[in-house]
Every structure is written in structure tokens, then in C-alpha cells.
Structure 1
Amino acid sequence: MANDTPSKVTSLDVARLAGVSQSAVSRVFTPGASASKRTVEKVRKAAEELGYRPNILARAMITGKSRIIGLVVAYLDNYFYPLAVERLSVELQKQGYHVLVFMASNTVGDVETVMQEILDYQVDGIVLASVSMSSVLAARCDDLGIPVVLFNRTQPDTRLASVTTDNVEGGRQIAHHLIAGGAQRVGYIAGFEGASTQIDREAGFLKGLAEAGASLQDRGVGNFLHDQARAAALEMFAGRDRPDAVFVCNDHMAFAVMDVLRGKLGLDVPGDVAVAGFDDVPISAWAAYDLTSFRQPLNAMVAATVETLMERIADDAVMPRKHKLSGQLIARGSTHPAKDTP
């Protein structure tokens, strides 16, 4: 009985049809390798005619380079991260890399499992967006020569590069803005307690309040989750002695808080409660929210992440750097402008 299974097309078949060497075919399909325009045209035409597709994983086993970057993210329901994933992917693709996106939670066990999957793909580098890494995993990646960049997170581990906004300064500026607008009873709704972004934003906020001669009246925890932020807002604002201003650790939670204030409790924003968030995602500017927020410089963060990753892939002797970029307070209608001083 005849075997009807078609034979697999190889790079040698493409080379014969195009009239070039097998190494020329390899160069055409290797990002960053040089080949003349005429050679590229002949090889691409022959490959299309034969239905040839290069085996990226097989090439990785030969060259030791997969041209794959593993991107781990935990909060895709937060509008900041889909934008970040899109822009990181585009910029890495411009550098000739493919991006594999993995979802993880902030639990140590889940991150460990996801990291093992990533390492199985023999990635050339890893970007962790919104998740942290254990010292054991950091050591393993370092031993394997796989550079890791934390995006919108930082850790003291010197083996890990990181790119963040100056979260402390952002929290500080928000505190000054709320007090300057006349706030007297100030609340804060925290994100995930173990996240460096949460820790730094709250530290900056408390510092700013102290500088303005004020203190925190009430604190809730939303864990960066919509439902938990709603619950925290209901608890914080249901009483008579409620705060007249609140800083919510990110915009995703701030939207939930504003919905509770206006839709559930019948309060006016900012008449009864001024609300500020952090990130300045596009929806913050929508008329439905008009949210005052501290803008993270997303494009600059992406550029620094890709630059750092490429540097370390090219030369593993390059020391990991921790970038802290300046953000900008964007004042909108959810807070009061500064009151005139006598």
C-alpha cells in the first residue's frame, strides 16, 4: 500500500529550487543575518512554492538561540497590561524576536510552574510584567545565562534588571494634590500587599501627607482586583465619618471605587469624595470617569525594557540595571484643583 503522507520539505529542497546554497537559505530565515535582496527574493519564492516553513525550535537546538522571549503577566483585566504586552511584543518583534505570553498569578507556586514551562522553550530572555520571582528561580536563570527584566516591578536581587516608574514620587504628588484641593479626611485603597508598586506608592503617599501636615484616616485593600476594590470602597464609605478624598493604588481599582461611590452610595465625585488613581490608562480620560491619575511613561518603560534585555542577551557580562523613570500627575475632574491660599 502506497504511503500518501507527503514528505517534509527541507531547506535543502528550497536551496535546490532557488539555485542557492543551503547556508543561504538559513541566512534568509535567520533574523539579523545578512543576505542580498536577490537571494532573499529567490529563497522566499522557492519556499512559498514548496510550502516550506523553518523549524525554529530545531534551529534553536543547533544554534543555542531560540529567538524567543518569554513574557509573563498576571493582570490582563487591568487596562495597563494589555497595552504593555502589545507594545513590548511589537518592539521585541522589531528586534527579530518572537514573544510567548504566559499567564500567572502572584502565588509563588504558580510562578514557579510557569517559569519551568518558559525554560522548556529555551527562551533567550524573560520579561516578568506584574509578577515577582523567587531567589531560587533568579539563581537558576542566572546560571543558565537567561537575562530577566522585571517590568513595573522591582526586587532587591542584583541578578534581576527592572523598569519602573518612580512610584514613591507618584504617591507623594497625589497626596499633595489632594490636600491642596482641600481634603481633610483622606483614605487609601491598597493593591496586592506583596507588590513593590503597592509598597512604594503607599510609602510615597504617606510621605506626601506628612509633608502637608496631614495623616491617613482610613485604609482598605483591593489587591488590584475589581471586586475586592468595590468591597473595600463599600466598607470605607458606608459610614457617616467617611473620607472626603481617596487615593486608589491603580486606575483599574479606582474605576470600581467610583462606580460604588456614585452608583451604590449616591455620592458625588468630587463633590463628596475626590478620587485619584495611578497608571493613567486611556479610560481614565473618558467623560464617564474623568479620573485624576499619575501617568506611567509606558513607551519609555517599554523602550528601557527592550534595550536592557537586548544588552544582556548580546553580552551576559553586562550588569543588570534598575531603571526608575519619571511619571506625570494628570489632574482631571475627579479631584479638586488647588484652593487659593491667602
Structure 2
Amino acid sequence: MSRVFTPGSSVSKKTEEKVRAAAAELGYRPNVLARSLKSGKSRMIGLVVAYLENYFYPEVVERISSELQKVGYHVLVFIGQNTAVDTDRVVSELMDYQVDGIVLASVSLSSHLAERCLSIGVPVVLFNRGQDHAQLSAVTSNNRAGGRALAEYLCALGHERIAYVAGFEEAATQRDREAGFREGLEAAGQGLFARAVGNFRYAEAQAATREIFARRERPDALFVANDHMAFAAMDVLRFEMGLKVPEDVSVVGFDDVPPAAWPAYNLTTYRQNVAKMVEETVAILIGDPLAAPRQVELEGQLVIRGSTRRYGQGRA
């Protein structure tokens, strides 16, 4: 009977059906915790996310859970914050569950706790955020290239007053996106027209947009460091300031979350390859525990929609 309820075990379909039918009749349920004590494996992965308000992360949670379930693992989801102190607390709690691996989605981990995880053989993968720790694996997009591509596109459209709403300043994703964006502007002979910080939060992105557009001379284009904040910016521009997107101002984001394609936003953005990011993350988690840490950086794709004006449409 134990082979039927052990993930990855070889058993014929006919035998499995008979055993499961008998187990159901007897009310038998396998003791997963007892099995984990015997095998030394809990078959559980801890996933820490900063917040679920951003549509990017529910998709990540769903995809990671689905892919891990296919290979006999289950996911424990914990909510952390952007600070390493809070993440350390959450990760310490996760380790009490004897998890076989940890995924940190856009949160940071202190060097001390990273070393502790490594010392007991628990692989840690940073998802959508890099960190200066050579022993931690990380899976990200090429954020610098994405920021540069968006700058090149806006400049090619003829925009000359291009502003930026930044994310959380300490995040590597934010820094790389802005660095690439500034490089693209400089290559076109331009500089950043205005800048404010939205911290990857909807309300703060609204405030940042109001700050940028309160000036006498307004931007004619706006890059927002992720789609979640771009939706906030567009809502302020259209419904508070009475501006038209893209006639008065073009808006671009980063991620390509599902609402970006909705008619209400129709957002031009830089798409992260979430499916491939999840695939690489799972491969690291269930791969050779003695393998060297991997730093995976994946290319994304510029997705052009109706929130930016067309070539030759004229200057705002």
C-alpha cells in the first residue's frame, strides 16, 4: 500500500485503483508527517512573497505550485515584507516545517540566515530579485535590457519629456530597470525629465504620478517600474487629471500581467517569461543538492499595445 501513496513510486494503474478503493473503504489516509521523518524529506517547498496585490505574484504562486505538484511536492506560502529582518523571521518559521527548499519572490534574505539554510542543505532560490550572495541561486529577467528597450521605444516615438515612477529603491529589479532605462535615454541624447518613487505599491504610485504631473511642464511619456503601478498611474492621469492616454501622455509598464491586456488599460509593457522563470526555479529546487548555485537571467519581450502613441502620430 505504501508504494501507491509514495510520490514517484512505480505501480500499475490497475493495482493503484484497487489499493485506493480499499483505502477509501477503510478510511485509510497516509501519514505524510511520519513518512517525512523516515525519509528525511518533507516534500514541501516554502514560498515567501512580498504581497499578492500585484497580479504578477498570484500567477507565480499558481505556476510554482502546479509545477511542483507534478513532481510530488507541495507549497507552503508565507507573506513577507521587503525588509531582510521580516524575511528572516518568516524563513525561520518555514524551516521549522522541515521544508526541502525555499523560494523568495521579490524579498531579501540576510547573509546570516542564508548561510544557515546552506549549512543544513536547504536550497534557496531568489525569484524575480537578485542579491549579492554568491551562494544563493537566483532567477530573474534581464531587467536592464527591458528598461533599455522601453526607453528606445519611447524615444523612437518622438517623446522628449520622459518621466519615471520607480519601485522599491533597495530592490535589484528596480535598480536594473532604471539603469537600463537611463542608458536607453542617454543613447538617444536624452535624460530623465522627472522621477518619483512608487515603491511597487498602488497608492504610492498614485501619489508619485500626482507629484510628477503637478509641474507646469508635464511629461509626454511615463515609464512605470511595473504594471501594477502603471495601472495606478493611468487611473490618476485619466480620472483625476482628465488626460488622455496615449494622446496626451504615453504610458509603459513592466511584467505583462493579465490586466495589461484588458481593454481598460491596453498597456504597452515589457513581458517577463514567467513560465520559463518558474521552470528554472523548480529545476534548481529539485536538482542536485550539491550543484553550484545558478544565476539565471532570462530575456523578455516588448509588447506594444494602445497606451503608447503610434509612430508618426506627432508630439504631445
Give the TM interval when normalised to the shorter protein: over 0.9
Q: What secondary structure does 2:60 align onto?
A: helix
Give 1:169-208 correspondences, 5 Å limit. 169-208=145-184
Q: What letter matches 1:318 in structure 2?
A: A
Find 1:230's aligned residue among 206, 217, 220: 206
Q: What letter matches 2:42 in structure 1?
A: S
Are the equivalent residues in 1 in contact too, given 2:134–2:293 (CA < 8 A)? yes
Q: What secondary structure does 2:81 align onto?
A: coil
Q: What secondary structure does 2:122 align onto?
A: coil
C-alpha separation in 1, matches of 2:235 and 2:14:
60
Can you list the C-alpha shifts for 1:246-282, whole angstroms capped at 9, x where unaligned? 1000000000000000100111111211110000111
Deviation at 1:132, TM superposition (A): 1.4
Deviation at 1:338, TM superposition (A): 3.4
Do residues 336 (structure 1) and 312 (structure 2) align? Answer: no
Q: What secondary structure does 1:26 align onto?
A: coil
Correspondence for 1:322: 295
Find 1:90's aligned residue among 63, 66, 69: 66
Are the equivalent residues in 2 in contact too, given 1:258–1:275 (CA < 8 A)? yes
Correspondence for 1:136: 112
Find 1:300's aligned residue among 247, 263, 276: 276
C-alpha separation in 2, matches of 1:338 and 1:330:
15
Deviation at 1:227, TM superposition (A): 0.2
Q: TM-score, normalised by structure 2?
A: 0.96
Find 2:251's aligned residue among 261, 264, 275: 275
Q: What letter matches 2:296 in structure 1?
A: H
Deviation at 1:109, TM superposition (A): 2.2
C-alpha separation in 2, matches of 1:186 and 1:216:
6
Correspondence for 2:236: 260
Deviation at 1:37, TM superposition (A): 3.3
C-alpha separation in 2, matches of 1:152 and 1:198:
11
Deviation at 1:320, TM superposition (A): 1.2
Correspondence for 1:114: 90
Can you list the C-alpha shifts for 1:50-75, whole angstroms capped at 9, x where unaligned? 21111212211111000001111112
Correspondence for 1:168: 144
Q: What secondary structure does 1:27 align onto?
A: coil
Correspondence for 2:4: 28
RMSD (Å) for aligned C-alpha atoms: 1.4
Can you list the C-alpha shifts for 1:190-244, whole angstroms capped at 9, x where unaligned? 0111111101100100010011110001110000000000000011102221211
Correspondence for 2:35: 59
Q: What secondary structure does 1:177 align onto?
A: helix
Q: What secondary structure does 1:316 align onto?
A: coil
Are the equivalent residues in 2 in contact too, given 1:177–1:338 (CA < 8 A)? no
Find 2:79's aligned residue among 77, 100, 103: 103
C-alpha separation in 1, matches of 2:123 and 2:192:
40
Deviation at 1:87, TM superposition (A): 0.8
Are the equivalent residues in 1 in contact too, given 2:84–2:107 (CA < 8 A)? no
C-alpha separation in 2, matches of 1:37 and 1:256:
52
Q: What letter matches 1:327 in structure 2?
A: G
Matched residue pairs, number? Answer: 314
Deviation at 1:38, TM superposition (A): 4.0
Do residues 239 (structure 1) and 212 (structure 2) align? Answer: no
Are the equivalent residues in 2 in contact too, given 1:178–1:336 (CA < 8 A)? no
C-alpha separation in 2, matches of 1:104 and 1:151:
14
Are the equivalent residues in 2 in contact too, given 1:71–1:99 (CA < 8 A)? yes
Find 1:209's aligned residue among 185, 210, 231: 185
C-alpha separation in 2, matches of 1:128 and 1:122:
16
C-alpha separation in 1, matches of 2:312 and 2:156:
6
Are the equivalent residues in 1 in contact too, given 2:157–2:309 (CA < 8 A)? yes
Percentage of identical aligned residues: 61
C-alpha separation in 1, matches of 2:29 and 2:170:
44
Are the equivalent residues in 1 in contact too, given 2:83–2:108 (CA < 8 A)? no
Correspondence for 2:15: 39
Are the equivalent residues in 1 in contact too, given 2:129–2:140 (CA < 8 A)? yes
